[in-house]
Amino acid sequence: MVAYASAWLKCWHPDAFCAALLNSQPMGFYAPAQIVRDAQDHGVEVRPVCVNASDWDCTLEPVDSRFAVRLGLRMVKGLAEAHARQIARAAPFTSVGDLWRRARVPLAALTRIAEADGFHAFGLSRRQAVWAIKGLPDTDLPLFAALEGNEPAAALRPMTTGREVVEDYSRTGLSLRRHPVAFLRGDLARRRILTCTDAMALPNRRWAEVAGLVLVRQRPGSAKGTMFITLEDETGIANLVVWPKVFEANRRIILAASMIAAQGLIQREGEVVHFVVHRLTDLSDALASVGRRRAFPLPHGRGDEFHNASPTPDARHPKPRDMFIRDLHLDTIRVKTRDFR
**How close are the terminal C-alpha atoms of the chain, in Å?**
40
pLDDT-derived band at 308, boundaries 50, 70, 90: low
Residue 307 has what pLDDT? 66
Q: How many domains does one find in the chain? A: 2
Residue 57 has what pLDDT? 98
In a domain, 306, yes or no: no
Residues 60 and 103 in one domain: yes
Residues 114 and 225 in one domain: no
In a domain, 339, yes or no: no
CATH of the domain at 191: 2.40.50.140
Instruction: Tell me 152's DSSP state.
Output: P
pLDDT-derived band at 184, boundaries 50, 70, 90: very high
Residue 323 has what pLDDT? 40
| pLDDT above 90 (res 89) | yes
| pLDDT above 90 (res 220) | no
In a domain, 310, yes or no: no
Instruction: Tell me 216's DSSP state.
Output: E
In a domain, 241, yes or no: yes
Residues 212 and 129 in one domain: no
Residue 326 has what pLDDT? 43
Contact 190, 209 (CB under 8 A): no
Residues 23 and 166 in one domain: yes
Q: What is the DSSP code string of 282-316?
A: E-HHHHHTTTTSSS---PPPTT-HHHHSPPPSSTT
Residues 272 and 207 in one domain: yes
In a domain, 75, yes or no: yes
The residue out of 292, 310, 329 marking a domain boundary is 292
Q: How far is Cα 47 from Cα 69, in angstroms, rounded to an integer?
A: 6
- The whole-chain average pLDDT of the chain stands at 85
In a domain, 92, yes or no: yes
Q: How far is Cα 269 from Cα 334, in angstroms, rounded to an integer?
A: 30
Full domain range(s) for residue 206 = 181-292
In a domain, 80, yes or no: yes
Residues 115 and 223 in one domain: no
Residues 98 and 51 in one domain: yes
How many other CB atoms are found less than 10 A from the CB of residue 174? 23
Residues 166 and 199 in one domain: no
The residue out of 172, 193, 221 marking a domain boundary is 172
Q: What is the mean pLDDT of residues 85-94?
A: 96
pLDDT-derived band at 141, boundaries 50, 70, 90: low
Residues 80 and 99 in one domain: yes
Q: What is the mean pLDDT of residues 307-316?
A: 48
Query: How many residues are given for the chain?
Result: 341
| pLDDT above 90 (res 317) | no
Contact 50, 120 (CB under 8 A): yes
| Bridge-based pairing state of the strands 66-70 and 46-47 | parallel
Instruction: Tell me 92's DSSP state.
Output: -
Residues 211 and 107 in one domain: no
Residues 57 and 196 in one domain: no
Residues 7 and 122 in one domain: yes
Q: Measure Cα distances from 258 to 297, 307, 323 in Å.
A: 9, 12, 20
Q: How far is Cα 272 from Cα 5, in angstroms, rounded to an integer?
A: 24
Q: How far is Cα 51 from Cα 121, in angstroms, rounded to an integer?
A: 7
